[in-house]
Amino acid sequence: MDMLMFQLQRSISTPLYKQLYREIKQAIVDGKISVDTKLPSKRKLAEFLDISQTTVELAYGQLVAEGFIESRARKGFYAQPVEEVAYLDVPQEEPLAPERLEYRYDFNPAAIDSRSFPFSTWRKLSKDLLDESNHGLLLSGHPQGDETLRQEISRYLFQSRGVVCEADQIIIGSGTEQLMPLLIRLLDKTIVFGFENPGYALTHTIFAHHDRKAVPISIETDGINVGELEASEVDIAYVTPSHQFPTGAVLSATKRAQLLNWAAAKPERYIIEDDYDSEFRYTSRPIPALQSMDVSGRVIYISTFSKSLMPSLRIAYMVLPKRLMRAYRQTFLHYSSSVPRIDQQLVSAFMKEGHFSRHLNRMRKLYKKKLEHLTAVLHVFAPQVSVSGQQAGMHIVLTVQTALTENELIERAKSAGIRVFGLGSYDVEGKTVSPPKIVLGFGGLTEQEIESGIMNLMACWEIGAQKSSSSE
């Protein structure tokens, strides 16, 4: 073939061999150099383009490596066929960017008080753990999670929640959204799940993503509607009995017994108990877990360290009944734990040395004080605003007597730089109620921020404080 008329630019930073490589490659792709055409020798092309043979050799070498040309012994270099790549001329659009708003007051129910975390203790434990003699941490641990952590969780659950289990029944995972799919895969594909409505939105999504039929079951003032559950085709009921999310309802003693009897009626039935924030109860002694009442091995207990320690830790745990443990070990025999061993050992040491219980006691007092301040601030707006769900956890529900809808209340708050959540956003069908109900989290705010945020919230909703009888 004729010499390749390429314009190489010595004035730019791109090396000459890369420029030559790109030019030849593009010519082959465009068909300007046809298949099986012999390329000039390295010497001739170097002389023609006034470059070194090394430059040509580097360019040819890259083209050979990528399959654009072929080196034939004692014959030279030949262009190779290139599969045509389909090209679709799609109009360029602006990339989708999630809406990021800076709120002055964020009443997110998932937020915690990060300012009160015992960083100095955590730092010391981390330093002690990361010792050169502790090289066993670099190896894969037990598939269910390190035994030391499972032992500590077992002791803690028995002492604080009445949960009776052995360490061998506990599986450690990086969040409820990682443990739930494992559980779903243990159960028959024909199993029908039931979930609280309104309820934890992630659960609805997990069932749908794993192609499992799931039925919403309504919530009453004392927890899940057991009558509705009994009349349904549900086999596995997902519940938050100690502090229903998001309504804050507590499952009554009568319904606890009814729910356990429902599960015991058929061999394929189970209850998934999500005990997500049971550590924080303010109005009475902690309510024992539903699992503590279970005598038939029908309750699957799930909880996390997201509220008690930090959401970013990504450590959750699941307690399986013994008959499900056999199926678990057969199905997930070759799986590894999804939580780093260093994190597991750190939490284990934090619990074993008593720091966890002390931290919980401090945070329980702190959150109770915040809750009391929040309800006191809201009290002056009664009866137009009433509070429910304040027995436990780090959120409450406001019932607002107003002509505005739930969405209108949320949008007004948003315009004022305040983030709140409507109860309807947790309803699988998006149903809202009248009067509207608003979910307010208080864990991540200071008392001053709570007071200022509520005052601004009521102002944008045009709700005025009621005069006390003493001032009239």
What is the model's pLDDT at position 333?
Answer: 76
Please check whether residues 216 and 363 belong to one and the same domain: no
Instruction: Give the CA-trace dihedral at 209, 210, 213, 219, to 10 degrees.
Output: -60
Please check whether residues 296 and 315 belong to one and the same domain: yes
Please check whether residues 20 and 38 belong to one and the same domain: yes
Q: What is the pLDDT of residues 293-322, one digit of tens each?
A: 999 999 999 999 999 999 999 999 999 999
In a 13 Å sphere around the CA of 178, the CA atoms on its Cβ side amount to 16
The pTM is what? Answer: 0.79
Mean pLDDT of 79-95: 64
Write down which residue in 353, 378, 412 finishes a domain: 353
Give residue 431's domain range.
105-109+358-471
> Does any domain span residue 243?
yes
> Does any domain span residue 6?
no
> Does any domain span residue 122?
no
pLDDT of 98 > 60? The answer is no
Query: What is the CATH number for 69?
Result: 1.10.10.10
Domain count, the chain: 3
Query: What is the CATH number for 420?
Result: 3.90.1150.10
Please check whether residues 413 and 321 belong to one and the same domain: no
Q: What is the pLDDT of residues 126-164, one digit of tens each?
A: 999 988 777 888 888 899 999 999 999 999 999 999 999
Please check whether residues 306 and 417 belong to one and the same domain: no
Please check whether residues 169 and 271 belong to one and the same domain: yes
pLDDT of 461 > 80? The answer is yes
Please check whether residues 309 and 273 belong to one and the same domain: yes
> Does any domain span residue 4?
no
Please check whether residues 410 and 291 belong to one and the same domain: no
What is the model's pLDDT at position 470?
Answer: 45
Q: What is the pLDDT of residues 154-212, one digit of tens each?
A: 999 999 999 999 999 999 999 998 999 999 999 988 999 999 999 988 887 898 888 89
> Does any domain span residue 23?
yes
Mean pLDDT of 219-223: 93
Q: What is the pLDDT of residues 7-47, one digit of tens each?
A: 788 877 888 899 999 999 988 888 888 899 999 999 998 88
pLDDT of 95 > 80? The answer is no
Q: What is the pLDDT of residues 57-71, one digit of tens each?
A: 999 999 999 889 999
Please check whether residues 329 and 400 belong to one and the same domain: no
pLDDT of 471 > 50? The answer is no
Please check whether residues 348 and 396 belong to one and the same domain: no
Please check whether residues 287 and 347 belong to one and the same domain: yes
